[in-house]
Amino acid sequence: MSVGINVMGLYVDDQDAALAFYVDKLGFRVHTDVCNGPYRWLTVQHPDQPSFQLGLFAPGPPVHDEATAQTLRAMVAKGAMPPLVLSVADCRASYARLKALGVEFTQEPTDRYGSVDAGFRDPAGNGWKMIQAAEQAR
């Protein structure tokens, strides 16, 4: 039996805006998009990682009451959630391409410990680090 992580979720305030960002700007593809009443299970995948899904979930019922959902939306918008990491072959080229697509960067590409990294946010406020591995940064 295989054991591992299949889906990792992010909270987003607008699932349609998140879907457009992850598909149109980052190049992910839709894996699952189904509704059960007002609840929408929406996941995307990076094309190079077909066994892993990133869930784009809206805080609220049936998982959260409205007060909790409001708190979660506020925390995400402030960038308080832990950052995610996107591995890239060329950080500077990826930065230029994504910036041209309108991605909001919080940090330009920076040489650090033999690698190159940059920071950006999704429309909800989730923070990302984009990292070019040290062996690719040479």
Which are the contacts of 133, defined by CB distance < 8 A and separation ≥ 6?
87, 115
Output Rg (C-alpha) for the chain, integer angstroms. 16
Angle at 114 between CA 109 and CA 118, to 5 degrees: 20
Q: Are 124 and 104 in contact (CB under 8 A)?
A: no
- Distance, CA of 79 to CA of 22 (rounded, Å): 17
CA distance 130 to 85: 6
The CATH-assigned architecture of domain 7-136 is Roll (3.10)
The pLDDT of residue 1 = 61
> Is 0.85 topped by the overall pTM?
yes
How many whole angstroms separate alpha carbon 95 and alpha carbon 85?
14
pLDDT value of position 92: 97
Please tell me the predicted confidence (pLDDT) of residue 76.
Answer: 95
The residues pairing with 31 across neighbouring beta strands, listed in sequence order, are none
Average pLDDT over residues 71-95: 94
* Residue 113 to residue 119: CA distance in whole angstroms: 16
Q: What is the pLDDT of residues 20-73, one digit of tens each?
A: 999 999 999 999 999 998 899 999 999 999 899 999 999 998 899 999 999 999
Q: Check the CA dihedral 108-78-85-61 and report its sign.
A: negative
Burial class (CB in 10 A: 0-12, 13-18, 19+), 89: exposed
Residue 137, pLDDT score? 52
Residue 72 confidence (pLDDT): 95
pLDDT at 84: 94
**Domain boundaries defined on the chain:** 7-136
What is the per-residue pLDDT across 96-136, written as a single tens digit (0 to 9) for each? 999 999 999 999 999 998 999 999 999 999 999 999 987 75
